Amino acid sequence: MDENTKTSKWEGKVGRELQTTKAEQIWPLFEDFCSIHKWLPSINTCHYVEGVHGQPGLVRYCESSSSNGFVKWCHEKLISIDHAERCLSYEVKENNVGFTYYVAELKVIEIESGCKIEWSFVSDPIEGWRLEDLCGYIESSLKTMAERMEMGLQAATN
């Protein structure tokens, strides 16, 4: 790997529109930082580690298992949360996934017909991955989360 590759950051952004769900309905699901496992089935568990719920500094532990039984885990720290703007940012801290630096921002934006969820990130390159792999994983994760959130909210109102 040449020096330019070592020092360059990966950046990406994906979005997902929900046509029947308003931003004020979706935001509380993201705002609950330790509940991602409810919306992303690839996460087996997510729980509180330290800090104050809903406040920067909160750390969560996330864990998932691969088909070969390997357990992947990480601690993620809430960096900022803005309830009025419906956005939060977090960083991956200790992990066994290969992240040396990863910061993401999630936004829930009101649009005329519903809302749009945006997930952007900046990361150091991950050994054995391509930027396209990480973008594809995030896009797939956001699609699944958005669908499950929307279905969960619809089921709660029926």
The model's pLDDT over 81-109, given as tens digits with 9 standing for 90+, comes to 999 999 999 999 999 999 999 999 999 99
Torsions phi, psi for 4 (to 5 deg): -65, -40
Beta strands in 27-70 (DSSP E): 45-50, 59-65
DSSP state of 9: P
Model pLDDT for residues 57-81, shown as the tens digit of each residue: 999 999 998 778 899 999 999 999 9
**pLDDT at residue 7 in the model:** 63
Mean residue pLDDT across the chain: 93
Q: Which pLDDT band, with edges at 50, 70 and 90, does 5 fall under?
A: very low
- Specify the CATH number of the domain 10-157: 3.30.530.20
27-50 pLDDT per residue, tens:
999 999 999 999 999 999 999 999
Instruction: Indicate whether 153 pLDDT > 70.
Output: yes
The DSSP H or E segment spanning 134 is helix 131-157
Cα 29 to Cα 115: distance, rounded to the nearest angstrom: 13
SS3 123: strand
The token duo for 1 is 């790997």
Question: What is the spatial distance between Cα 147 and Cα 142, in angstroms, rounded to a whole number?
Answer: 8
CB atoms within 10 A of CB 19: 10
Say yes or no to pLDDT of 1 above 50. no
